[in-house]
Structure 1
Amino acid sequence: MFSQLKRLGADSLLYAFMNVGTKLIAFILFPLYAHYLVDTSLVGLLQMVDTTVSMLTFLVIFGTDSALAFYYFEYKDKATREKYVRSVMTFRLSIVVLLFVVFLIGGDWLSALILESSGYSQLFYIALGTLGLDTIVTLVLTILRYEFHTKRVVFTTIGKMLLIAVVSVLFLMFVWTSLEGILVARLLSVAMIVLVLIKPVRVYLKPLFDKAILKKILVYAAPLVPASLAFWIIANANNFFIRAYGTLDDVGIYGTAIKFATFITLLTSGIQLAWRPFSMSLKDKKDSPQLFATLYAAFLLIGSFGVLALATFMPWIILVMPENFRIAFQYVAPISIATFLSFYYMIVSTGIFYSKQTKHISIAFGIAAAVSIILNFVFVPQFTIWGTVISYIAAYFLALFMVFRKSQKLYYVPFSGFKMAWTIVWLIAATLSIVYIQLQNLNSWLILGVWIVFMILVLIVRMDKYFVKRK
């Protein structure tokens, strides 16, 4: 057990270093975007383009990431593994080409539909070019991660973000002070990374249409496609509701909050990248359930304290933004709860992936997405950004417990669902209490009181005693 924990710890630390680096670069870059673009509505426009591309990314991946993770560890010989990777690469790039053709044909109409303003189709052309190149980079880095070439993955990813940052700033300062300049800078930066990875790229870019392999991949992946769509609805459809019932300025403020809420991923993303190969490698180990139970509890506590820390210090962190963006601070910590839950479900869904019953993730997130849409219709017209924050948290909370319950039936881990729910409910209450204290300019010592009460409530249910006997 110690050796497995050592590997997870080492890889997680390296991935955490990578994500701290990339998030810090993004943290510096986003305020620069805001200063150069000036208007919150332009930031809102960029947010809408990025939201659309994120949905298209789900279509490109089409659940093949989980399928590849399973079959890559299922087969041991290099030749077979290479065939699976090439098949996935061929499939993904084919989808990118298809999407590009669609936008070439209906770009102006799609621009008017998505952005409620025509004349911006060129933004999507540039973004889709970046998507195609990033598809190549992402898959190559995924395989390097599966092979535990952690250092190479880390430094390549940080290098990509540094390139994007440097090229973006140069473009905004000297070449193209516009949204197009930002998007072209991204395109050029990712193209450079493709050249850096040219050796593995040459291998995996060779087209392969193996019907047998593709069928196996899609049979495993297809049940996850509705889940991917549901993820997008929960995480991104909020922007369209805010745009419909509010303004592009509101979208810009919400987008600002989303960017800062990703700070919580400084704690989680390193673990997230290391978790899949780590957990799959323990599939047949006798003591794995006990180990997973310990990790479930530890990750929940670490994430909770991370959210509360973000809530506590956000009014000072947001000062790096221009004044008209700073109102976003109040939404950051609540959104980070949903961001954490979107990570945590992956941790507690081990049984579903072990048993290949991935359809249950689609069912859970399909229901959660429907609930999210209903809640957006109910709350956004009345509360605008706060309305969509409510729907965001509620949807992930519901999906998490549906996934956890099913995973426990398929592969039991001695971990208490009640204590997990207890902790998350009080985390939500504590976070909102801190934000309320800050908005009302109440005595700052009350925030310390919130921290103490939360820790007492966690101790009441003995978070150090998460293990329960199976009946």
Structure 2
Amino acid sequence: MKTILKSLAGNTLIFAIGNSVSILLTFIMVPFYTTVLSPADFGVSDILTTTTAMLVPVVSLNVFSAIFRFSLDDENHTEIFTNGLLISLIGVFFSIVLSGILTLLGINYSILVGIYLGITLLLNLFQNFTRGINRVKSFAISGIIGTLSNVLSNVFLMWVFKLGLNGYLYSLIISALITTIFLFLNNKLYIYISFQKKSWLNTKKLLRYSIPMIPNSFAWWLTNDANKLIILAFVGPSANGIFAIANKIPTMISTIFGMFSNAWQMTAVQEKDKSYTTDLYSLIFNLMFGGLLIISAVIVNLIQWFMGFYVSDKFYEAWKIVPILLMTSFFSNMSAFFGTTYLVSKKTKGLFTTTIWGTIINITLSFILVPLIGINGAAISGAIGFFIVSFLRLKQTSEWIKIQIEWKLQGILISGYLILTIIEYINFSLIFTKVIIVIIMMIFLLRYIKQIQKRERSVG
């Protein structure tokens, strides 16, 4: 078990090193965006990027997910990559053509979004294949390159040339293109291209895995981002800009979890069907989510003070939504953890059936709550939606992996977080009380770790 945990920690560290620059620079850029863009423009930019993210799995038939999973098992990488590339190139063609038609119809930003979407299809393919052939260092470096190029082009186009929202979109295209070229050349992906290897049987195998995940990806977008469209409709673009800023910190937590998730997916595939698989899943779940709750608790303690200097005055009120959005992030990450079980077992149909219930509940609640309480309603709806997905996935995946959740530990940590949130809203100056609560939460998690260590020594 220790060897497995060391390998998992090592891969996580590699992803963390590669993404640390990305996280830091993205974090630093938020004050820049809130200075050069109005809340309305920032809200529109967020809608455009999230819509693109929604379209990626649809236009590409989500083939990049199959490329990653099958590359871990299958040695015939040339056949896998070639057939995945052909599917992606067809997606690129349709995205460019469709965006051109929408531009002729007068839809703003269509051609820029279409170009960005096309490049992103290839970027996702290259990233997932790179991970699948265990080139994790190259994958991590590509994140640094993409972020640096995005930041530099942002400053150049938005600050120097004052291109505003157009400059923001140009920067996304430039950074995605540079990262795609780097991955292609650095990993010599051209050696995996052989059109003699194109195979309808292989393509069908990839699509049988990936196509059931398309509705899941679309439903996932509805659960995660449709609230922004509802805010836009009922409250307006400025409110959506506030919501987008408030979501930056929870999104960063999810990004950090994503580093672990990338490494965990590889470990989960390698260690499937072992006698200790259940114990491994249980240990990782309780440690990871106990840690996430404590990190979220610390953020809640600091959020009002932090927002006071992090963003301009017109965005300060965003702090009020952060505690709720942190819960949304927590349950989102939890459901993603359970989702790995479907990927390992290659039973991807179950992903959609669980997500759709969360989507229905989220959208229904959003339509009810957003008109009543504004953007807080969207935050609450998202948290409840992801909680439902997490619960259903835990129940469904118990057929393959019976994760032993430490309910007492997680219950205490969630209770501590909720108490901190209430204090923050009522009287955030009770600093000593909030610190004591965080310390108590940490003690309970450390106690669990010691129990695990004691159990390992007794077994050994």
Answer yes or no: same fold by TM over 0.5.
yes
The answer to whether structure 1 residue 375 and structure 2 residue 365 are counterparts is yes
Provide the alpha-carbon RMSD of the alignment.
2.7
| 1:93–1:205 Cα change, 3 Å | farther
**1:416 is matched with which residue?**
405
Deviation of 1:299 after TM superposition, in Å, equals: 0.5
Deviates more, 1:139-148 or 1:392-401: 139-148
**1:15 is matched with which residue?**
15
Amino acid at match of 2:288: F
Equivalent of residue 263 in structure 1, options 249, 252, 256 = 252
Give runs of aligned pairs for residues 343-354 of structure 1, distance below 5 A: 343-354=333-344
**1:210 is matched with which residue?**
199
Equivalent of residue 77 in structure 2, options 81, 86, 104 = 81
| 1:251–1:73 Cα change, 3 Å | same
Equivalent of residue 174 in structure 1, options 135, 144, 160 = 160
Q: Is the 8 A contact 1:90 1:205 kept in 2?
A: no
Deviations 1:401-450 (A, max 9, x none): 1111111112333x13745873575266235324314xx45433332354
Provide the rounded CA distance (Å) in 2 between the counterparts of 1:378 and 1:3.
50
Amino acid at match of 1:68: I
Deviation of 1:350 after TM superposition, in Å, equals: 4.6
**2:346 is matched with which residue?**
356
Deviation of 1:89 after TM superposition, in Å, equals: 2.5
Give runs of aligned pairs for residues 363-402 of structure 1, distance below 5 A: 363-402=353-392
Provide the rounded CA distance (Å) in 1 between the counterparts of 2:306 and 2:205.
47
Give runs of aligned pairs for residues 88-237 of structure 1, distance below 5 A: 88-107=84-103, 121=108, 123-199=109-185, 200-203=188-191, 209-237=198-226
The count of residues paired between Structure 1 and Structure 2 equals: 449
**1:28 is matched with which residue?**
28
Amino acid at match of 1:136: L
| 1:366–1:23 Cα change, 3 Å | same
Deviations 1:37-95 (A, max 9, x none): 2x2111111112112112112313534344233322332x3xx2221122222223322
**1:326 is matched with which residue?**
316
Deviation of 1:153 after TM superposition, in Å, equals: 1.7
Q: Is the 8 A contact 1:171 1:181 kept in 2?
A: yes
**2:458 is matched with which residue?**
none
Provide the rounded CA distance (Å) in 2 between the counterparts of 1:351 and 1:198.
30
Q: Is the 8 A contact 1:8 1:275 kept in 2?
A: yes
Deviations 1:128-178 (A, max 9, x none): 212222322332222222233222221221111011101110112322431
Provide the rounded CA distance (Å) in 1 between the counterparts of 2:432 and 2:167.
45
Equivalent of residue 245 in structure 1, options 234, 240, 264 = 234
Provide the rounded CA distance (Å) in 2 between the counterparts of 1:65 and 1:196.
18
Q: Is the 8 A contact 1:351 1:412 kept in 2?
A: no
Q: Percent identity?
A: 21
Provide the rounded CA distance (Å) in 1 between the counterparts of 2:42 and 2:279.
46
| 1:312–1:133 Cα change, 3 Å | same
For structure 2, the 5+ residue unaligned runs are 456-460
Instruction: Output the TM-score relative to the length of structure 1.
Output: 0.87
Deviations 1:164-223 (A, max 9, x none): 101110112322431111111221232223333343343456667522112111212222
